[in-house]
Structure 1
Amino acid sequence: MKKNVFLFLFIAITMVGNAQTKTVTSDNQVWLGYLNQTRITDKWGIWADFHLRTKEDFFDNFSQSIARVGATYYLNDEAKLTAGYAYITNYPAEGHKNISQPEHRPWQQIQWHNKYPNVRLMQWFRLEEKFRRKILNDDELADGYNFNFKLRYNFFAQFPLSKKRFQPNTLSFVVNNEVHVNFGKKIVYNYFDQNRFFLGFAYHVNKHDNLQFGYMNLFQQLPAGNKYKSNNVARVFYFHNLDLRKNKTK
Structure 2
Amino acid sequence: MKLTKILFLFLVSFISQAQTEKNIDHQSILWTRYNNQLVLNEKWSLHTEFDNRVFLKPVKENLYVIRIQGRYKINEHLEAGIGFTHFSVTTQEPEVSYTFKTPEYRAQQDITWKLNVSKVTLIQRFQTEERFIHKANKESLLPGTTFSWRFRYRLQADYIFWKKENQYLKTILSDEIMFNAGKTILKNTFDQNRIYAAVQYGINKNIALELGYLNSFQRRANGIDYFNRDIIRFSIFHKIKFQKKV
Q: Name 1:73's counterpart in structure 2.
A: 72
Output the CA distance in 2 between the equivalents of 1:49 and 1:207.
Answer: 19
Q: Name 1:141's counterpart in structure 2.
A: 141
Deviation at 1:54, TM superposition (A): 0.8
Residue 96 of structure 1 contacts residue 138 of structure 1 at CA under 8 Å; is this kept in 2? no
In the alignment, is residue 99 of structure 1 matched against residue 100 of structure 2?
A: yes
Say if 1:208 and 1:125 are closer, same or farther in 2 by CA, change over 3 A: farther
List alignment gaps of at least 5 residues for structure 2: 1-19
Deviation at 1:184, TM superposition (A): 0.7
Output the CA distance in 1 between the equivalents of 2:130 and 2:101.
Answer: 20
Deviation sequence 1:136-177 (CA, Å, 0-9, x none): x32311000011001111222111223x37x54442222122
Deviation at 1:110, TM superposition (A): 1.2
Q: Name 1:242's counterpart in structure 2.
A: 240
Q: Name 2:124's counterpart in structure 1.
A: 123
The percent identity for this pair of structures is 28
Say if 1:86 and 1:126 are closer, same or farther in 2 by CA, change over 3 A: same
Deviation at 1:245, TM superposition (A): 5.3
Q: Name 1:113's counterpart in structure 2.
A: 114
Deviation at 1:216, TM superposition (A): 1.2
Output the CA distance in 2 between the equivalents of 1:196 and 1:179.
Answer: 6
Deviation sequence 1:68-110 (CA, Å, 0-9, x none): 1122222124322211111100113568722110011111111
RMSD: 2.3
Say if 1:32 and 1:195 are closer, same or farther in 2 by CA, change over 3 A: same
Say if 1:232 and 1:93 are closer, same or farther in 2 by CA, change over 3 A: closer
In the alignment, is residue 223 of structure 1 matched against residue 216 of structure 2?
A: no
Residue 98 of structure 1 contacts residue 138 of structure 1 at CA under 8 Å; is this kept in 2? no
Deviation sequence 1:36-76 (CA, Å, 0-9, x none): 3322123322121111111242x711111110112222212
Output the CA distance in 1 between the equivalents of 2:37 and 2:77.
Answer: 13
3-state secondary structure, aligned to 1:224: coil
Residue 96 of structure 1 contacts residue 139 of structure 1 at CA under 8 Å; is this kept in 2? no
Deviation at 1:241, TM superposition (A): 3.0
Residue 63 of structure 2 contacts residue 91 of structure 2 at CA under 8 Å; is this kept in 1? no
Output the CA distance in 1 between the equivalents of 2:219 and 2:51.
Answer: 22
Q: Name 2:160's counterpart in structure 1.
A: 160
Deviation at 1:30, TM superposition (A): 0.4
Q: TM-score when scaled to structure 2?
A: 0.82
Say if 1:179 and 1:208 are closer, same or farther in 2 by CA, change over 3 A: farther
Q: Name 2:176's counterpart in structure 1.
A: 178
Q: Name 2:195's counterpart in structure 1.
A: 197
Output the CA distance in 2 between the equivalents of 1:179 and 1:240.
Answer: 27
Say if 1:111 and 1:245 are closer, same or farther in 2 by CA, change over 3 A: farther
Q: Name 2:209's counterpart in structure 1.
A: 211
Say if 1:56 and 1:189 are closer, same or farther in 2 by CA, change over 3 A: farther
AA matched with 1:44 = W
